[in-house]
Structure 1
C-alpha cells in the first residue's frame, strides 16, 4: 500500500474512531503497528455496529462515544448471543462475516482485560464476556470450498479468451453504442494490463491499485507489493502481463494527461473542472471487471475469482504448493491447499483421455 493510500485509510480510521468510546480509540491506536489500515478500518465498522446495538437495546442512554466500560463488564452471555442473532437475522451476515466481527470484539475485550491497565495497575475490565463466546463452526472443508468456486473461475482457453475480450472484442460488440465504444477505446490498454496482471500474478485487489510505476521491474518481471502485515515482497508476473503493461505504459502519460512526476500506475481519466487525474480506486477496478465479466458471459467472475483462476492454473502446471503460497502471499499453507482440490477435475479428465487413447490403440 503506497503512502497516499495509507494516508487516506488513516484519515477514515480517525473519522470513524472519533465516534467510538475512548478505550476503543486507545485500542485502535495500539494496533496500528500490527494491523494493516484496511483491517483497522474494518474493525472500526464492526465496533460501530456493536456499540450502536448497545444503544438500541437500551443498555445505555446517551451517545455512542460516551458508553462507559462498566456497560461492557455487565453484558451477559445471552445478551452477546442476542447480538450475534442480530447480525445473522437482521443484518443477514454469513457465518464467516459473523466470525470476523466476533473476532474483532474478542480482540478488543482481550486488550481491555489482559493488556490495558489503569494508573493503579488494575485492568480496564475484570470480567470478559467475549471469552465465553465461541466462533461459529463453519462446516466447509477445502474440497467444499473448491467445489463452490467451480464454474466461477476461468479455465483452459478462457484465460486468453477473456484477455482478448477485454483488449479487443468488447469494443467490437459495442460499436453501435458510441458511449461504450469510445470509453473502451480510451481505456482498453489500461484495462487489459490490469486483467493480464491479475491473471499473470494472482495479486490481490489492494495490491493492484496500490502499485506505483516504480514498483514494476521490467527486467526481472516482478512487482513490488506490500502484503498483509505490511510485509514487502517482490511478486513475479507472466510475460504476457509484461507485454500488456508495456503497451499501457506507452500510452499512459499522454492518454491520461499525466505530469511526469505522477507515480500511481493505474489511473482514472481526468475529472472535474480542473481535470484532475487520480489513482484508480479498488471499487473502480471491481466495476470494470464486473462489466467485462458480464459481457463475456461469466457474470460470477470478480477480481478475487481472477486471482483464483491464476492460482488454479499455476497449481495445475507446476504442482508446487510452497511456491504458490509465496506467490499469493498466504500466511497459512491450508489456504493454498484449496487449489489442489480445484485441479482434481483436470486430473480426472487427463486420466480419462489416457484411457481413451489406450482404447483407440487396442482397437487398432
Structure 2
C-alpha cells in the first residue's frame, strides 16, 4: 500500500507551497484532495507557482504570487498564455509532454474557477476562461511509430533472462576489482535481483514497486496488492520466478538490513547518513540502480519503465489477450495497451520479406 509517511511528506510540502499561492488555488486544491494523490496535488501547486511567478517577472502584475487576484486571471490574453508556453519550452527547456502537463493543470484550475466555484451571490469566480482557447500540443503518433521507437530499448528473447541473471550474478564478476562497489553489490544483490525479477514478472509501475509493503505480497497465491492510479486497489499476479527471487530477498531482508519491526516497506535501502538511517527505497534510487545495471549490461537505454514494457511485450507474445494484459498493467484505456500488439509484428515482416523471393514457376502460370 502507499507509504503513509511519503504521503505525509507530500502534504507537508504542499502546505508550504500553498502559503505562496492565492486563496482560490488553495480552495481548488482542497476540492481535489479526495480524488487526486498527494504527489499529483504537489505537482499542480508547483505548476501554478511557476505560472504566477512568470506573470510577475514579466511585469503583468505587481506584488507576490499570493496577491494575484481573480480579475487578473480573467483579463489574461491568449497571446500572454502562449508567451508563457514559449518560456517553458525555450527558456526552461521543458519537453512538449511536460508543457502539456502544466497547461492541463492550468486548464483544470480555470475550469473550476469558471464552472464550479461560486461567490455567495452564485456568480462564478471568473466569467472569461482564456485557457479554454489554448490548445494542448498534439503529441499523437501512430502506434507503429511508437512501437518502433520502443523496440530497441526493451528486452527481447534471450536478453530477457540474461539481464535478470546479470543483476543476480554477472554484475559482481564485472566489478570485483572495485572493492567498494563489490561490497555494495554483495549487500544489495538479492534485493536488486528481486526488484528486477518482480517488474519483469508482473509489469508493475515504478511507483507501485516502491510503495509495496511486506504484507502486500502473497507467496502462496503469487500476487501482490497494489494501489493503482486513481487510488484503485488491485491484486496483480506475478510469475513463479519473480516470487522465487522475492522469497530469497525477504528471507535475508530483516537480518541484512537490520530492519526494525516498525518498517514494513518491502524494498529498503542500506543504512545511510550520520544517523545510519534505513528507509524505504525511493523511486530515484531504483531508477539509478537500473541505470547502473543497464549500462554495465550494454543496454544504456534500458530503464525501469522499459522493463515494464518488456514484460508487456513478452506477455502479449505468449498470451495474445489484450483485455487481460490491460488489467495486468492497470491501464485505464485499452488503447494504451494496444501499443504492444504493434511491437515485433512478425507476420508483417515476413510478408514484406516474401516480396524479395523469386516467384515459383508453377505459381507464375496461374
SS state at 1:158 partner: helix
For the 8 Å contact 1:315–1:343, the answer to whether it is kept is no
Is 2:34 aligned against 1:33? Answer: yes
Deviation string 1:157-180 (CA, Å, 9 cap, x unpaired) is 111100111111111111100011
SS state at 2:153 partner: coil
SS state at 2:89 partner: helix
Write out aligned runs for 1:232-251 (5 A). 232-251=233-252
Alpha-carbon separation, structure 1, partners of 2:199 and 2:350: 26
Using the TM superposition, give the Cα deviation of residue 348 of structure 1 relative to its aligned residue in structure 2, in angstroms. 3.7
For the 8 Å contact 1:174–1:180, the answer to whether it is kept is yes
SS state at 2:157 partner: coil
Using the TM superposition, give the Cα deviation of residue 260 of structure 1 relative to its aligned residue in structure 2, in angstroms. 3.0
Q: In the alignment, which residue of structure 1 is the partner of 2:296?
A: 295
Q: In the alignment, which residue of structure 2 is the partner of 1:267?
A: 268
Using the TM superposition, give the Cα deviation of residue 332 of structure 1 relative to its aligned residue in structure 2, in angstroms. 0.7
Q: In the alignment, which residue of structure 1 is the partner of 2:363?
A: none
Counterparts in 2 of 1:122 and 1:305: CA distance versus 1, 3 Å: same
Using the TM superposition, give the Cα deviation of residue 141 of structure 1 relative to its aligned residue in structure 2, in angstroms. 1.8
For the 8 Å contact 1:55–1:61, the answer to whether it is kept is yes
Q: In the alignment, which residue of structure 2 is the partner of 1:255?
A: 256
> Which of 334-343 and 32-41 deviates more?
32-41
Using the TM superposition, give the Cα deviation of residue 101 of structure 1 relative to its aligned residue in structure 2, in angstroms. 1.2
> Which of 9-18 and 102-111 deviates more?
9-18
Counterparts in 2 of 1:340 and 1:287: CA distance versus 1, 3 Å: same
Deviation string 1:273-311 (CA, Å, 9 cap, x unpaired) is 442211011110011001101111101111111111111
Q: In the alignment, which residue of structure 1 is the partner of 2:21?
A: 20
Write out aligned runs for 1:150-169 (5 A). 150-169=151-170
Alpha-carbon separation, structure 2, partners of 1:130 and 1:104: 10
Q: In the alignment, which residue of structure 2 is the partner of 1:279?
A: 280
Q: In the alignment, which residue of structure 2 is the partner of 1:75?
A: 76
Write out aligned runs for 1:107-256 (5 A). 107-256=108-257
For the 8 Å contact 1:221–1:236, the answer to whether it is kept is yes
SS state at 1:78 partner: helix
Using the TM superposition, give the Cα deviation of residue 35 of structure 1 relative to its aligned residue in structure 2, in angstroms. 1.3
SS state at 1:126 partner: coil
Counterparts in 2 of 1:254 and 1:352: CA distance versus 1, 3 Å: farther
For the 8 Å contact 1:271–1:277, the answer to whether it is kept is yes
Using the TM superposition, give the Cα deviation of residue 16 of structure 1 relative to its aligned residue in structure 2, in angstroms. 2.1
Alpha-carbon separation, structure 1, partners of 2:292 and 2:351: 33
Counterparts in 2 of 1:172 and 1:34: CA distance versus 1, 3 Å: same
- Mind listing any 5+ residue stretches in structure 2 that lack a counterpart? 361-366
Alpha-carbon separation, structure 2, partners of 1:278 and 1:214: 17
> TM-score, length-normalised on structure 2?
0.93
- Mind listing any 5+ residue stretches in structure 1 that lack a counterpart? 360-364
For the 8 Å contact 1:5–1:210, the answer to whether it is kept is no
Alpha-carbon separation, structure 1, partners of 2:240 and 2:140: 40
> Which of 1-10 and 251-260 deviates more?
1-10
> Which of 98-107 and 244-253 deviates more?
98-107
SS state at 1:301 partner: coil
Using the TM superposition, give the Cα deviation of residue 47 of structure 1 relative to its aligned residue in structure 2, in angstroms. 1.1
Structure 1 runs of 4+ off > 4 angstroms? Answer: 349-353
SS state at 2:279 partner: strand
Alpha-carbon separation, structure 1, partners of 2:351 and 2:234: 35
Alpha-carbon separation, structure 1, partners of 2:210 and 2:140: 33
Alpha-carbon separation, structure 2, partners of 1:4 and 1:73: 39
Is 2:68 aligned against 1:50? Answer: no
For the 8 Å contact 1:315–1:324, the answer to whether it is kept is yes
Q: In the alignment, which residue of structure 1 is the partner of 2:364?
A: none
Alpha-carbon separation, structure 2, partners of 1:49 and 1:67: 13
Counterparts in 2 of 1:121 and 1:33: CA distance versus 1, 3 Å: same
Q: In the alignment, which residue of structure 2 is the partner of 1:59?
A: 60
